[in-house]
């Protein structure tokens, strides 16, 4: 018999990657969706199950104030959504039109755009940020007569900062430039009102702040006619036609939906609506401020944004590699965080020379006691670090 190993209780602080735990309602919805035959309009004569696609569409539209609900399109992830939107908005852009993005962005934005630039299809400008945000004045100064599109994150997955989407969108629309916003880090964490925000498309993912499971995501598009479809296939509608339907959402939704995933997404969105996004944001702000206040007491700890708008704390300990800090947190304290570049290399190049960081990210289920334990653990590690050795 192998010896019993005493391990500390698990404290999960990697919610910006994937939230855990999931609400009981989400787990129940997944089980229920698998207990009965799949029901989908146009794909079965059965009526034994729920129409999870319609439920999820209505729930997401209500939570994000996305109108009409038919303009909410489901995909497999935020990355999938961004690829569809970028390719769709830039269809016919072989002459090398101009596109804007920022140093704050995730590789799900940067890599599709840099690939198009490498192919010579676009000319790309990557805008710098100051204090965690890109100024609308910086955006306006970068606009040229051939600027066609801007793609940027609503919230930074490294700094927890939130962009001035309303002001940036107004600048862009004054110049007839389309605007795609990556909301992977904001949907479910802070209030989002797509009815009033000047965006042309907003991307969300299911497995982060919306409490769904991996393999789900989507986008809201204000005017579908501005985007060319990039995927074609069966939709269960207008099947005699050999061309993709123009109606929404079938224009962009081909193939069988992830029914268990959309059941989870609907339940997650309804769970959030029941609590209130404002209530979730207020708790997150309080807990994040507490952790940062504790870490600032240690001279060996560098916190890269002391006033985040999202429950994200990125830091390093002088004299230690961030991977080593993460290892100690996990093995000695049972704290699950994330280390490295967080798929946002340009943001890290700007704030830490490309070294990467330790990232703590909270959710609605994070307790005050877990925040106290995490802060105390980091301070203990920092107190034993030698700032004169190794990394700055």
pLDDT tens per residue, range 299-324: 999 999 999 999 999 999 999 999 99
Cα–Cα distance for residue pair 255/233, rounded to 1 Å:
6
Comma-separated ranges of CATH 3.90.1150.10 domains in the chain:
11-21+277-383
Q: How many whole angstroms separate alpha carbon 37 and alpha carbon 228?
A: 34
Residue 368 clears pLDDT 80, i.e. is over it? yes
- Report how far residue 41's alpha carbon sits from residue 190's, in angstroms, rounded to the nearest whole number: 33
Residue pointed to by tokens 């539209």: 61
Greater confidence (353 vs 246) lies with 353
Q: Where in the chain is the domain with CATH 3.40.640.10?
A: 24-275
User: What's the rounded mean pLDDT across residues 72-85?
Assistant: 98
Cross-sheet strand order for the sheet of 147-153: 72-75, 217-221, 201-205, 178-182, 147-153, 97-102, 122-127
Q: What is the CATH number of domain 24-275?
A: 3.40.640.10
Average predicted confidence (pLDDT) for the chain = 93
Q: What is the CATH number of domain 11-21+277-383?
A: 3.90.1150.10
Mean pLDDT of 11-26: 98
Note the pLDDT of residue 389: 64
Distance CA 56, CA 54 (A): 5
The reported pLDDT for the residue numbered 231 is 84
């Amino acid at each position: 018999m192998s010896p019993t190993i005493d391990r500390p209780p698990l404290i999960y602080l990697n919610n910006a990657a994937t939230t855990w735990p999931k609400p009981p309602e989400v787990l129940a919805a997944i089980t229920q969706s698998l207990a009965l035959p799949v029901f989908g309009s146009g794909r079965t004569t059965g009526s034994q199950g729920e129409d999870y696609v319609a439920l999820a569409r209505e729930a997401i539209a209500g939570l994000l104030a996305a109108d009409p609900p038919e303009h909410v399109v489901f995909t497999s992830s935020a990355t999938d959504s961004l690829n569809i939107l970028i390719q769709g908005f830039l269809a016919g852009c072989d002459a090398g039109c101009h596109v804007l993005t920022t140093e704050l962005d995730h590789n799900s934005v940067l890599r599709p755009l840099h690939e198009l630039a490498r192919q010579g299809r676009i000319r790309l400008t990557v805008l710098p940020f100051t204090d965690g945000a890109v100024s609308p004045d910086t955006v306006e100064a970068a606009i040229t007569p051939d600027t066609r599109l801007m793609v940027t994150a609503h919230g930074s997955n490294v700094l927890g900062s939130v962009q001035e989407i309303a002001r940036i969108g107004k600048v862009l629309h004054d110049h007839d430039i389309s605007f795609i916003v990556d909301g992977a880090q904001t949907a479910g964490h802070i209030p989002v009102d797509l009815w009033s925000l000047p965006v042309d498309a907003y991307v969300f993912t299911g497995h982060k702040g919306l409490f769904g499971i991996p393999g789900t995501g989507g986008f809201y598009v204000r005017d579908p006619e501005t985007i060319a479809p990039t995927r074609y296939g069966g939709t269960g509608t207008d099947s005699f036609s050999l061309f993709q339907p123009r109606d929404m959402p079938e224009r962009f939704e081909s193939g069988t939906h992830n029914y268990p995933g959309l059941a989870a997404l609907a339940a997650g969105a309804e769970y959030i609506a029941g609590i209130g996004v404002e209530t979730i944001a207020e708790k997150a702000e309080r807990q994040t401020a507490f952790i940062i206040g504790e870490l600032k007491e240690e001279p060996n700890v560098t916190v890269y944004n002391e006033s985040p708008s999202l429950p994200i704390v990125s830091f390093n300990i002088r004299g230690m590699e961030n991977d080593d800090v993460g290892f100690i947190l996990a093995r000695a304290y049972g704290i699950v965080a994330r280390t490295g570049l967080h798929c946002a290399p340009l943001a890290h190049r700007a704030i830490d020379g490309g070294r990467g960081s330790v990232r703590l990210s909270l959710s609605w289920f994070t307790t005050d006691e877990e925040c106290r334990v995490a802060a105390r653990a980091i301070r203990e590690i920092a107190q034993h670090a030698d700032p004169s050795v190794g990394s700055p």
